[in-house]
Amino acid sequence: MDFKPKRPGHSPEKRPLYVYYLIALAVIVVLNMFVLPALRERSIQKTDYTTFLESVEDGKVKRAEIQEDSILYELTKDDETVFCKTNRVDDPLLVEKLYKAGTKMEAVKATNNSLLISIIGGYLVPIAIFLFLGRWLSKKMMESMGGGGPGGMMSFGKSNAKVYVKSSTGIKFTDVAGEDEAKELLTEIVDFLHNPKKYTEIGAKMPKGALLVGPPGTGKTLLAKAVAGEAEVPFFSISGSEFVEMFVGMGAAKVRDLFKQANEKAPCIVFIDEIDTIGKKRDGSGFSGNDEREQTLNQLLTEMDGFDASKGVVILAATNRPDSLDPALLRPGRFDRRIPVELPDQKGREEILRVHAKNIKISETVQFETIARAAVGASGADLANIVNEAALRAVRDGRKFATQADFEESIDVVIAGYQKKNRVLSTKEKLIVAYHEIGHALVAAKQTESAPVHKITIIPRTSGALGYTMQVEDKEHFLMTKEELENKIATFTGGRAAEELIFHSITTGASNDIEQATKIARAMISRYGMSDEFDMVAMEHMQNQYLGGDSSLSCSSETQTILDQKVVELVKTQHEKAKAILEENIIKLHELAKYLYEHETITGEEFMDILNKPSNIEE
């Protein structure tokens, strides 16, 4: 069995161009420096200056070549020409003497070579090499542009699609945790490739293409590789960006080539990763900047229409920007099956952690459930990262296995960046941060329907956060009530509220809180219909839902003004509420802030203990 990815067709090994130039250069240098001088040196007789002058006076020297510190000359001796060499002496009359004797003179500087040799070595050879290389290159280009020509030299227009044979990826569905729906849909495709008869007998047709859509890092590429590992058929994998080429028309040629190969190898799977790079909506405007991309897309559409699905060529593609795809791609008969690959839920996160933890040594006491719960919103890639960070941390501390604490710290790392041990806050700053964070936590704890506090820390992070309060939901939420959202806003404003209450001044520490609170408030009014004024009218539309989501306004500017007012009102009300809560619990605020100031990191349990035990400080 061949484990290496095979390259389709025959293409010669591609040596970069500069290698040829280097070889040519080396040849020239060697010739010039060693071979030619050595050849000449051998037939040259050494004489002294006096002998040389005598020969000149006798009129025997036909030609002399005056160099910086020596003189080469041709001597006629017994009707034969002999080459001689002598050291040059400071002789101001030399030229005159030579002239009188009728010797041909030449002055040569610094080099030992005669004119002929330097012309050949220095000019003709390189020019010949360049001409040869140039012709050879242009021939190669012509061939690939024409898209044809008998094999051999053409490697320019070939797609770089790699064929994966069964065991080469080695990834199976069991390596992909969670994502059960996606796996189920893909299993059907694998099954079809194995027993096409079962389907064709009833008359069922397989979809030609399936599109994996979902946020980054959720395992789309991984799923496609798993399909390759499960279906025992050739697997062509290419990324959308590989179609984008320097020369116009090249991308389209690659698409053509890819499908030609796929047809030859059917049944097989073609996987186009990040298809949005070529599949973007074509803008109707006449002067689109990227003709090349458009041509590539058109070629892809044509090819997808052109082949017969019953032959067993299945096309998979992945993207995290489905809304930017050209509608023509999503039409029935092309990528008509959409496979959502969403962020994992609690159970999915737990499974993913387990899959990745198999590769590292962990202590028996590690509770994946707790870790998964603390990692709300993490993607599969984040979770893989968390596991790796935990292992790294264990190594750093010189342990043989990773512990629960390693995992918890690595969640912090992935969420908030590394602890920045050497950043020193002044005492005053540290105190402010402590009150700020307790402000968040206390407001959260005193509201019903609010997620419990999991951890509070005032150790600065590399991300710039000076501290943070982590809340973790008891159970997965799919719906949020208006009250819950309002409470969230109140919790975000709690940090600033504490600063105001205790220090009577405010700091820049709340910038992220402000952003978050505004985002929620805005969404409540413009998208969730949670205000009396606008009822169930949408003011905003989401774009790029998988990539953080920008939203675009769709209302008149008057409405927008009212909308902005409502957002401010909403946040203000919650801010007031937070302040009231803190005022009511000011003793606890002092107590907790003092405790946090001393300990720097406290757990949810410690927090609740202090909150619930009777106070011992007087006001």
Three-state secondary-structure class, residue 419: strand
Q: CB count, 10 Å around CB of 133?
A: 14
C-alpha to C-alpha distance for 489 and 510, rounded to whole angstroms: 13
H or E segment at 585?
A: none
- The answer to whether 242 contacts Zn ion (rule: CB under 5 A) is no
Amino acid at 34: F
Three-state secondary-structure class, residue 70: strand
Q: Which residue bears the tokens 């227009």?
A: 157
Question: What does 179 interact with, of Mg ion, ligand ADP, Zn ion, none (CB < 5 to 8 A by kind)?
Answer: ligand ADP
H or E segment at 418?
A: none
CB of 299 to ligand ADP, least distance (A): 24
**Which 61-100 residues touch ligand ADP, going by CB under 6 A?**
none
C-alpha to C-alpha distance for 507 and 488, rounded to whole angstroms: 21
Of 582, 353, 605, nearest in space to 454 by CA: 605
User: Which residue, judged by CB position, is nearest to Mg ion in the bound state?
Assistant: 221
- The answer to whether 457 contacts ligand ADP (rule: CB under 6 A) is no
CB of 499 to Zn ion, least distance (A): 9
* Options 118-126, 214-222, 359-367, 544-552: segment touching Mg ion (CB under 5 A): 214-222
**What do you get for the CA distance between the two ends of the chain, in Å?**
79
Question: What does 495 interact with, of ligand ADP, Mg ion, Zn ion, none (CB < 5 to 8 A by kind)?
Answer: Zn ion
- The answer to whether 221 contacts Mg ion (rule: CB under 5 A) is yes
Of 463, 414, 471, nearest in space to 437 by CA: 471
Q: x-or-dash pattern for Zn ion, window 476-515, by CB under 5 A?
A: -------------------x-----------------x--
**Which 361-400 residues touch ligand ADP, going by CB under 6 A?**
380-381, 384
- The answer to whether 277 contacts Mg ion (rule: CB under 5 A) is no
* Options 23-31, 214-222, 264-272, 390-398: segment touching ligand ADP (CB under 6 A): 214-222
CB of 548 to ligand ADP, least distance (A): 14
* Options 53-61, 218-226, 441-449, 514-522: segment touching ligand ADP (CB under 6 A): 218-226
Residue 276, both tokens: 């949005």
CB of 274 to Mg ion, least distance (A): 6
H or E segment at 510?
A: none
Q: Tell me the three-class secondary structure of 100-112, residue by residue.
A: HHCCEEEECCCCC
* Options 213-221, 261-269, 350-358, 375-383: segment touching Mg ion (CB under 5 A): 213-221
H or E segment at 93?
A: none
User: Which residue, judged by CB position, is nearest to Zn ion in the bound state?
Assistant: 495
- Interface residue with ligand ADP among 177, 415, 441, 497 (CB under 6 A) is 177
Three-state secondary-structure class, residue 257: helix
The catalytic position among 437, 486, 499, 591 is 437
**Which 563-582 residues touch ligand ADP, going by CB under 6 A?**
none
- The answer to whether 531 contacts Mg ion (rule: CB under 5 A) is no
**Where does residue 267 fall: left (phi above 0), alpha (psi -120 to 50 degrees), or beta otherwise?**
beta
CB of 151 to Mg ion, least distance (A): 33
8 or 209: CB nearest ligand ADP: 209
User: Which residue, judged by CB position, is nearest to ligand ADP in the bound state?
Assistant: 380
Question: What does 513 interact with, of ligand ADP, Zn ion, Mg ion, none (CB < 5 to 8 A by kind)?
Answer: Zn ion
176 or 510: CB nearest ligand ADP: 176
For the question of residue 437 being annotated catalytic, the response is yes
**Which 275-334 residues touch ligand ADP, going by CB under 6 A?**
318
Question: What does 209 interact with, of Zn ion, Mg ion, ligand ADP, none (CB < 5 to 8 A by kind)?
Answer: none
C-alpha to C-alpha distance for 275 and 450, rounded to whole angstroms: 41
CB 386 within 8 A of CB 353: yes
Residue 113, both tokens: 């070579």
**Which 117-146 residues touch ligand ADP, going by CB under 6 A?**
none
Question: What does 315 interact with, of Zn ion, Mg ion, ligand ADP, none (CB < 5 to 8 A by kind)?
Answer: none
DSSP string, 327-352: HHHHSTTSS-EEEE-PPP-HHHHHHH
DSSP assignment letter at 79:
T
Amino acid at 332: P
Question: What does 176 interact with, of ligand ADP, Mg ion, Zn ion, none (CB < 5 to 8 A by kind)?
Answer: ligand ADP
Residue 338's beta-bridge partner residues?
211
* Options 57-65, 216-224, 247-255, 303-311: segment touching Mg ion (CB under 5 A): 216-224
CB of 325 to ligand ADP, least distance (A): 16
Question: What does 294 interact with, of ligand ADP, Mg ion, Zn ion, none (CB < 5 to 8 A by kind)?
Answer: none
Residues in the interface with ligand ADP (CB under 6 A) total: 17
Residue 387, both tokens: 């596991």
C-alpha to C-alpha distance for 616 and 589, rounded to whole angstroms: 13
* Options 11-19, 27-35, 123-131, 171-179: segment touching ligand ADP (CB under 6 A): 171-179
Q: Which residues contact 84 (CB under 8 A, 6 or more apart)?
A: 44, 45, 46, 47, 52, 55, 72, 73, 74, 75
C-alpha to C-alpha distance for 131 and 127, rounded to whole angstroms: 6
| Side-chain half-sphere exposure of 400, counting CA atoms within 13 A | 1
Q: Tell me the three-class secondary structure of 227-254, residue by residue.
A: HHHHCCCCEEEEEHHHHCCCCCCHHHHH
Residues that bind Zn ion (CB under 5 A): 495, 513
Q: Which residues are catalytic?
A: 437
Residues that bind ligand ADP (CB under 6 A): 176-179, 216-222, 318, 352, 355, 380-381, 384
Residues that bind Mg ion (CB under 5 A): 221
